């Protein structure tokens, strides 16, 4: 049976490399991007590179909860089974923008949209694990989570926004998300991980920090590829990986009461 993986933000950068390597390894891969034109272009390029690869595509805006709901419906139709969800898409904003639904853009794209997408797809992921290894959710976070704080009284940072504060909060929320999923799901059915991909000179980092010298896109994608494709992962569900090795996340990520409060707030904001 061919396993199926969805990689968000996979029209370029780390996401594209993750999608490419998973397809090269024999998985069916659903490529995601905000724009249908970019998804179609990425699919055309990947099909040229991997003539035998099983590839499909879906386009929706992770910054729009209505868009995420439509996207989840399209994925459910395209993928009767889904074994891997790589929440890779992310942004670094240089000005505070609020979405039409009232959410700060970094929080919406990097965390709340992926949170909703994961919850909508979780039943499919769990069902697809029957008779095989557990399905996986892999959240691409960042070492920036170590400098983040969850502003429970101001998640949209209306009072104290900076691009870095918004980014660090969203990446801390990603790490917490994987830990919360690990607590809420039977590890025989669904496991979750978060990771720091390394400092990679992607479009996101250039937007946030200017010219960046770092590891290659190939190296940046390596941990997500291993966690997605391996028959089994020795490290427990909820683990955070840096430089490919499971390591303790920041103490803030391990604050159970804040994690629970963030989950409850996310459920309300996403209208679940």
Averaged pLDDT for residues 215-227: 93
pLDDT tens digits for 3-53? 999 999 999 999 999 999 999 999 999 999 999 999 999 999 999 999 999
Closest by Cα among 155, 185, 171 to 270: 155
Q: Over the chain, what is the mean pLDDT? A: 95
Predicted local distance difference test score (pLDDT) of residue 179:
98
Report the percent of the chain where pLDDT is more than 70. Answer: 94
Q: How far apart are CA 201 and CA 194, in angstroms?
A: 20
Closest by Cα among 57, 54, 49 to 11: 57
Told to judge if 111 belongs to the known catalytic residues of this protein, a careful annotator would answer no
Q: Are 238 and 139 in contact (CB under 8 A)?
A: no
Q: How far apart are CA 59 and CA 143, in angstroms?
A: 28
User: What φ, ψ does residue 247 adopt, rounded to 5°?
Assistant: -145, 165
Q: How far apart are CA 188 and CA 170, in angstroms?
A: 28
CB atoms within 10 A of CB 83: 23
Query: Helix 113-128 vs helix 65-78: angle between axes, to the nearest 10 degrees?
Result: 20
pLDDT exceeds 60 at position 205: no
Closest by Cα among 7, 17, 102 to 63: 102
Q: Which pair of tokens denotes residue 267? A: 């459920």
Q: Choose the catalytic residue: 111, 167, 193, 240.
A: 167
Q: Are 27 and 85 in contact (CB under 8 A)?
A: no
Predicted local distance difference test score (pLDDT) of residue 213:
62
Predicted local distance difference test score (pLDDT) of residue 236:
98
Predicted local distance difference test score (pLDDT) of residue 1:
78
Q: Which residues contact 73 (CB under 8 A, 6 or more apart)?
A: none
pLDDT tens digits for 73-102? 999 999 999 999 999 999 999 999 999 999
Q: What is the pTM of this model?
A: 0.95
């Amino acid at each position: 049976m061919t396993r199926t993986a969805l990689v968000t933000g996979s029209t370029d950068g780390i996401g594209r490399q993750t999608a490419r390597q998973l397809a090269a390894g024999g998985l069916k891969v659903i490529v995601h991007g905000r724009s249908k034109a970019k998804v179609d272009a990425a699919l055309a390029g990947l099909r040229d590179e991997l003539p035998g690869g099983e590839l499909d595509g879906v386009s929706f805006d992770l910054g729009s909860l209505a868009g995420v709901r439509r996207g989840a419906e399209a994925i459910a139709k395209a993928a009767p089974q889904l074994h891997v969800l790589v929440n890779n898409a992310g942004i670094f904003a240089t000005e505070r923008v609020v979405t039409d639904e009232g959410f700060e853009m970094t929080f919406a794209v990097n965390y709340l949209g992926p949170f909703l997408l994961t919850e909508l797809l979780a039943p499919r992921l769990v069902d697809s694990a029957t008779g095989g290894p557990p399905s996986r959710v892999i959240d691409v976070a960042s070492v920036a989570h170590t400098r983040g704080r969850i502003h429970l009284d101001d998640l949209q940072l209306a009072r104290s926004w900076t691009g870095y504060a918004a980014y660090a909060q969203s990446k801390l929320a990603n790490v917490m998300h994987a830990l919360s999923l690990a607590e809420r799901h039977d590890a025989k059915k669904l496991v979750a991980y978060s990771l720091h991909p390394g400092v990679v000179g992607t479009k996101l980092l250039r937007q946030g920090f200017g010219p960046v010298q770092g590891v290659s896109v190939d190296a940046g994608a390596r941990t997500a590829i291993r966690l997605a494709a391996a028959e089994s992962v020795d490290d427990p569900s909820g683990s955070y990986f840096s430089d490919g090795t499971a390591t303790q996340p920041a103490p803030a990520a391990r604050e159970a009461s804040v994690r629970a409060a963030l989950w409850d707030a996310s459920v309300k904001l996403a209208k679940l």
